Amino acid sequence: MRINKYLAHAGVASRRKAEELIKAGDVTVNGDVMTDLAYQVKSGDTVEVKQTQIYKEEPVYYVLNKPRGVISSVSDEKDRKTVMDFFRHIPERIYPVGRLDWDTSGLILMTNDGEFANLMTHPRHEIEKVYIAKVEGQANKENLRPLTQGVKIDGRKTKPAIYQIIKQDISTKKSVVQLTIHEGRNHQVKKMFEAVGLPVQKLSRVQYGTLDLTGLQPGEFRRLSKKEVSQLVNAAKGI
């Protein structure tokens, strides 16, 4: 197996990130610094990344219902709670696929498969993601219509989204809106609502491709079936 693919399957990083580690001189094979990006790892080879031996793990895939106030990273320099705290008994070296903001709850994938993670997060792959947002202001067809045509955030126009008004509270001037997008840009949903004058107060991702949070309370997770993983991969590849 090619060295970057080996590292990806071991949960170290995506293939692209693995190549960066190799170029930086952080990868050794049998004690020698690896410089050949095309090297084929053989049975009996000792592979180390930053002096830590790497073992090829069986790929695992989980869906977590992330609570608010939890960081979507492997560690946090401020010692705040991360998604990893829910997986302390899992032996594999898993990590989150993409990110949800600290104050955003909902569905996030966890895996040790770098190739899968890269497939899920690459900008060219348009996996459907559904969010429920509580916003300030009265949501209506007029102010939400631009979302269906694309709005400019960070200098680039978003792809058309689909919305559904779930609830309107005239007395408090707040609304609940479901938004379906096919991108994954930084803080995208919050910025889209802000662009149409409806600042987000509370946000949750409730669906990712064919997956939803049925049966999962905040902080709970479950392992994905082979069929569910295949469905996600096929959606990313447009199959």
Give residues with Cβ within 8 angstroms of 220, minimum separation 6: 64, 65
Please report the sign of the dihedral spanned by the C-alpha atoms of residue 37, residue 51, residue 82, residue 60.
positive
Q: Which among 63, 97, 107 is positioned nearest to 223, based on CA atoms?
A: 63
Strand pairing class (129-136; 174-181) = antiparallel
Query: Does 101 participate in catalysis according to the annotation?
Result: yes
| C-alpha–C-alpha distance, residues 47 and 30, integer Å | 6
Q: How would you class 90 by CB atoms within 10 Å of its CB: exposed for 0-12, middle for 13-18, buried for 19 or more?
A: middle
Cβ(175)–Cβ(121) below 8 Å: no
Beta strands in the chain (DSSP E): 27-29, 32-33, 47-49, 52-53, 61-66, 95-97, 104-111, 129-136, 152-153, 156-157, 162-169, 174-181, 200-208, 211-212, 221-223
Active-site annotation holder among 26, 101, 103, 212: 101
| C-alpha–C-alpha distance, residues 43 and 148, integer Å | 53
Q: Which among 192, 187, 184, 179 is positioned nearest to 236, based on CA atoms?
A: 184
Active-site residue list = 101
